[in-house]
Amino acid sequence: MRDGPMKTVARRWFATPLWQRILLALVLGAAFGLLASQWAVNLQWVGELFVRLIRMLIVPLVFVTLVAGITSMGDPKRIGSIGGKAFSLYLVTTFAAIVIGLAMALVFRPGAGVDLSGATPRDLGEPVSLQERLMAIVPDNPFMAFATGDILAVIFFAVLSGAALLLAGERGRPLAGVFDAGSEMMLKMTGIVMEFAPVGVFALIAWVMATEGPGVFISVSLLALAVYLGCFLHILLTYGGMVRLLARLPVVPFFKGAREPQLVAYSTSSSAATLPSTLSAAEKQLGIGAPVASSVLPLGATINMDGTALYVAIITLFAAQAFGVDLSVADYLMIILVTALVSIGTASVPSASLFLMAAVLDVIGMTPAQTAVVVGFILPFDRLLDMMRTVANITGDLAVATVVARWEGELEDDVFLRDGATKNS
């Protein structure tokens, strides 16, 4: 009996790689948002439903996969080895992102001649101190951390739990097996939820285009160009260079493997919301072993905010140019240092970088009133810039995980190179 037209279409749809379906949804959503904005604005709830589905996975996925990954290491010493290498690489890429951001702002000078008089000031309140950020890593109550989605605290508790299971030896094996099975279950659940991604991406992009673009985006074209080009160069040069020079792997398979989470990141503007897709791509597309993927990627989704660092650096110079503030070499060094510090541990949610600007702009002498005006000017179109920043963040997570996996012997070359590339290409 021959299949009907609907079954044929459905079969072809699900046979198409997910990243291609997401890309198609992104293009169609943008077109629909521009051409039918009166209907597209009503699609926000569909996109939010998709975001809620993937946020539902984040805390259990991070905890279960991280514990399973640590127990699979077999040796507690590897926790420090993998974590230390990942953290060092994240710091290096953050500083590289800030330098690229400053270079973009100096080249394009997006703040020169900009009139901020029409901007509505937005008060961001007092920035959170570094001491408070560090203290918050250790939860008063781990169950409260689970309930509130405090990822840094969840990671801390997961690392302790995994290390304790390793030290428990044979007596801890039954529980370690439960976490291993739980990790597999969460990855399968991620696969189920991601089948809804094309619908969610279509709705999100249509809503963004209908409510925010592209007119407001074009009005700040120099700033948008500086952010997008800066992120693109950072992805290509910094991350591509890491994969090629430090892992000694071809970059084309890496970027092919990163396509799906990049598209999800662009539509959701959240590193945390993209984490399930990032974990899945790391193991299935890039061949990164569970001990590295399940430990490095959740850490990266929390502390690796290269896109944010690059953006804050650009906005700092944008503000200085708009208000006519001359900066010295010492000012630039302070911008680099403070931006690196405040970007670590930034909440991985849309537009979180706006709340970091008070700390960095204060370094160059901006008053709270001036900061409020800058934020008020940027806020209406920040989502469109945030989408690209998030792509940079999750690409960095995957690049660091790839390098660390290569160094630790946890990378399956046949999976990474299965598109026909050669190791020396």
For the chain, give every domain's residue range.
5-416
From CA 97, how far away is CA 301, in angstroms rounded? 16
Give the closest residue to 290 by CA, choosing from 73, 143, 100, 121: 73
Q: What is the CA radius of gyration of the chain?
A: 22
Give the closest residue to 339 by CA, choosing from 315, 323, 367, 373: 315
Per-residue pLDDT in tens (0 to 9) along the chain, 425 residues: 455 666 777 777 777 777 778 888 888 888 888 888 788 888 888 888 888 887 888 788 878 888 887 787 766 777 778 888 988 999 999 999 999 999 999 999 888 877 666 565 655 555 555 566 667 778 889 899 888 877 778 878 888 898 888 888 888 888 988 988 988 888 788 788 878 888 888 888 888 778 766 655 565 788 889 999 999 999 999 999 999 999 999 999 999 999 999 998 888 887 777 888 898 899 889 999 888 888 888 888 877 889 989 998 999 999 888 888 888 888 898 888 888 876 765 544 444 566 567 668 877 888 777 877 787 777 767 777 888 999 999 999 999 999 999 999 989 999 898 754 444 33
- Write down the CATH number for the domain with range 5-416: 1.10.3860.10
